[in-house]
Amino acid sequence: MPFSQRLSKEDRKTLRGKILDLAIPAMIANISSTVLTLVDTMMVGHLSTMKLSAVGVASMATWIEFPFAMGITIGTTAIVARHVGKEDYETAKRICDQGIYMGFITGLILFIVLFIIKDPFLHMLGTTRVTHRDAVKYFVVYISSYPALMASMALYGGLRGAGDTRTPMYLTVMSNAVNIFLDYSLIFGKFGFPRLGVLGAAIATTFSMLLAFVIALILYDAGKLIIGGRMSPRLDYSIQKRILKVGIPAMIERLVNNALMITYNSMVAHLGEIPYAAHYIGLRIESISYMPGLGFSVAATTLVGQNLGRRDVEMAEKSAHESAKMGILFMGLMGLLMIAFPKYLAYPFVNPMDPHAQEVINLAAWYLRIVGISEAPLAIIFVYAGALRGAGDTISPVYITGLNKAIFRLIPTYIMCYRMGIGVIGAWIAMSLETFTSAVSFYLKFRTRSWARIEV
């Protein structure tokens, strides 16, 4: 029985207020990023279906940084939250400093490696003779942002762990507004800018991320944020080891997840440009529904970590359960909209003059109908995974994610798409199935309370 049911009416109201204070800014930041991705996809889609498919594969390829970034970010967030719970802000600041350094250095190494292997890597992921050149253009420019992107993610993670989700929101919204303006200007050659097409979309994204990072770093170094001040000029390996102790399992989880997701998306990409264009559009639309779940996940991470810092295990548990309830409500409503109006949601992402437009819209509509039923379980995954990470349990998500995606997504996708001949719809059925099984797994793991004994 969830412990949140034992809260008094007044205590529940207070807790929900705290959750919303943390979740809403995180939601707005995520919605802003999603709007950016949707607008970016719409603009590229109006160039042609082939260019959209190229950017879709290149975007999938850029996910490779995410495991490393999340490992550093989650480690920083969890440890900062513990020290803020103890009211030890000086140590929290030192941890955030080292997270920023680790993010920048790791991002630089990844950029160099990926630049060297870009052609075989993109071919492996599904680019064709038609799409490869545009995919390479987008990929190379985007990965040049990795040092700034990964350092800013660590900084934002530290701020969220300290309870400040508003500063990341403001910076993200500002960055995305600049990105949308530059997208329109550089993709289509407006306001005196050159018409660069796919390359323009990548330049707009890279510049806007760099701008946000520079502003965030200036504010942090000047001591204008909840934690911060003059950054230490030295690398502190003892602190970095603490971050990695929590972060490495999170990094492995993301590596496993991304490897499985890249394999899954590659299986879809090899079904052809049109099915993959529909898949990419569906993913972008569905990503809107992620925003409430990710916001409540941030709230659960922060509150669980801070309450454990105060040695209040029961309130940590109640915070997670209340966050999950609210996430289920919001994401369930989003799923209903996807089921009810799929074609209306897909239509803006294609050029109606494109000869493949109607086929892409029809397929994307089926994507939304199928995955719409699994949005509420997806909220359970987001929130309880965030709660476990906030407690420092980054090991459990590794095997929960890996086993569920391998057994309930990849294997059924292969069988339905390549053996039974169902096509891309089979891949989407498998994805929805895996969401349900993962949700049950995360919930049952959190109920064991093993996370309460972890020291970070």
**With bands split at pLDDT 50, 70 and 90, how would you rate the model's confidence at 2?**
very low
More confident residue, 38 or 242: 242
Beta carbons of 310 and 395 less than 8 angstroms apart: no
**Across residues 249-266, what is the average pLDDT?**
87
| pLDDT higher than 70, residue 8 | yes
Place of tokens 């086993």: 403
Q: Which amino acid makes up residue 133? A: R
Provide the token pair at 52. 């959209």
- Whole-angstrom distance, CA of residue 412 vs CA of residue 430: 6
| Domain boundaries, position 118 | 3-453
Q: Which amino acid makes up residue 319? A: S
- Whole-angstrom distance, CA of residue 437 vs CA of residue 401: 10
Beta carbons of 175 and 208 less than 8 angstroms apart: yes
**With bands split at pLDDT 50, 70 and 90, how would you rate the model's confidence at 127?**
confident
Residue 249's pLDDT is: 92
Maximum CA extent, the chain: 63
Write down the mean pLDDT value for the chain: 91
- Whole-angstrom distance, CA of residue 103 vs CA of residue 366: 39
- Whole-angstrom distance, CA of residue 68 vs CA of residue 319: 28
**DSSP-assigned letters across all residues of 4-61:** GGGS-HHHHHHHHHHHHHHHHHHHHHHHHHHHHHHHHHHHHHTT-HHHHHHHHHHHHH
Number of domains in the chain: 1
What's the CA dihedral at 435, 440, 443, 449 to 10 degrees?
-130
Beta carbons of 435 and 374 less than 8 angstroms apart: yes
Provide the token pair at 122. 């993109």
Give the ranges where 270-312 is alpha helix by DSSP (H): 273-309
Summarised one tens digit per residue, pLDDT across range 365-397 is 999 999 999 999 999 999 999 999 999 999 999
Check: pTM over 0.85? Answer yes or no: no
Provide the token pair at 453. 């004994």
Residues near 122 by beta carbon (within 8 Å), at least 6 away in sequence: 57, 58, 61, 132, 135, 136, 139
